[in-house]
Amino acid sequence: MNFISSRDSVVLMNNDKIKKLFGWNHNPFTFNIMPELFVGYEKEADKIMNGLENGYKFSLLLGPTGSGKTTLIKFLVEKFSNERNVIYLSKPPKNPEDWVTIFENITRPRFSLFFSRNNGVNLYNLSDRINKKLRNSRCILFIDECHEASMDSLEWLRTLTDHVDSLLVVMAGLPVFDNILKNNLETFMRRVNIRIELTNLTKSETREMIKKRIEYMGGDDIKPFTQDSLNYIYEKTGGFPREIIRVCNDLAQAAVDRNISIIDSDFLKESVSPDERISLDKITTLPERQRLILETLTQHGELTPTEIIQKLETDDYKDRENAVRSVNNLLRRLMKEKLVERKRYGKAYLYTISERYKTLLVDA
């Protein structure tokens, strides 16, 4: 199996203190990707695995930042770790020629140290070389952050999969990648067999995620968190895995700093800042349609006004023109309140939740 780079980060906390206060051997809430602690999205994982077993060429996994795409894709990589030709890329290549290097271990002949490095392999004969090497086996290529790929690189990947029957590809990226394919690479989009969009974990899955991480580090169930603090964590994070980790770490660090062994409602009352309480009140008192737009952006990441309307699936508007006008007006109000930000995308705008409020929104 080939692993090409990784992006793990560590959040430091005093191990002696957390052992004494919480019974943890180490901090469970770091941003290290741990597929062995995978929680939630079981149906989505099964769908992709079944697709691979059935020989589906392209599986597309979409989700906003922090929704758990990388953990899921690494969980899938581990599931197929007994196979020889499994390749994981933490980022896609921008240069098409890099595909030759990526598939080098497959295309390289035996005793390749006696040959030149590229062994005469180039983009135009790469598919033939892969076919010769695979024969009765297959190659599964997992690609993360696929929205960063160049169009040329994606076109060559499509060409390779067209000519290599046993090359299967699972791609993960932000929801904007869907638009990139639709607008620029329609032929690629037509080859996608499975399309999955991650949103967030349920409250019970959030509890299970916290429990698994704590017990993995020697703790007991969800202690030191109580049901009250669990409710707070879910409300603050909306069930986004990365935010769950961040908030749990922040709360645990605050408890360590104050030498407190239980994170309950009393602890939260003393720890949650007035500004944060005002922010939460501001969101919960919004008109229903504005809340629906915020929740839609929270679930799906960056969207155009037209895509927001499609996701809302509402019949409240007389016609499409009325819907577009109304949603644009609501977006302007949300921007004025600094709840939403936008950026230019071609002739349209992509809207997203502002960083300040992203972790305060709750999925309805």
What's the pLDDT tens digit per position in 220-244? 999 999 999 999 998 888 888 888 9
Residue 23 pLDDT: 92
What is the C-alpha separation between 48 and 146, in angstroms, rounded? 17
- In terms of pTM, does the model score above 0.95? no
Residue 281 pLDDT: 54
- Average pLDDT value for residue range 12-39: 84
Residue 146: closest CA among 199, 196, 90, 202 = 90
Between 362 and 53, the more confident residue is 53
At 225, give phi and psi (nearest 5°).
Answer: -75, 145
Residue 291: closest CA among 202, 361, 197, 201 = 361
- Average pLDDT value for residue range 40-56: 92
Reply yes or no on whether the pLDDT at 9 is more than 50: no
Residue 145 pLDDT: 93
Reply yes or no on whether the pLDDT at 16 is more than 90: no
pLDDT tens, residue by residue, 261-316: 999 988 888 776 655 554 555 666 677 788 888 888 887 888 888 888 888 866 66
Residue 54 pLDDT: 93
Residue 89 pLDDT: 94
Q: What is the mean pLDDT of the chain?
A: 83
Residue 294: closest CA among 234, 352, 355, 231 = 352
pLDDT tens, residue by residue, 135-189: 888 999 999 999 999 999 999 999 999 999 899 999 999 888 988 898 899 899 9
Q: Which of 21-25, 80-84, 115-119, 293-297 has the highest mean pLDDT?
A: 21-25
Q: Which residues contact 283 (CB under 8 A, 6 or more apart)?
A: 291, 294, 339, 357, 360, 361
Residue 284 pLDDT: 61
Q: Which residues contact 234 (CB under 8 A, 6 or more apart)?
A: 203, 206, 362
Task: Using a pLDDT cut of 70, give the percent of the chain over it.
Answer: 84
Residue 212: CB atoms within 10 A of its CB come to 17
Residue 107 pLDDT: 56
- The domains located in the chain, with CATH, are 2-35+201-272 (1.10.8), 41-197 (3.40.50.300), 282-358 (1.10.10.10)
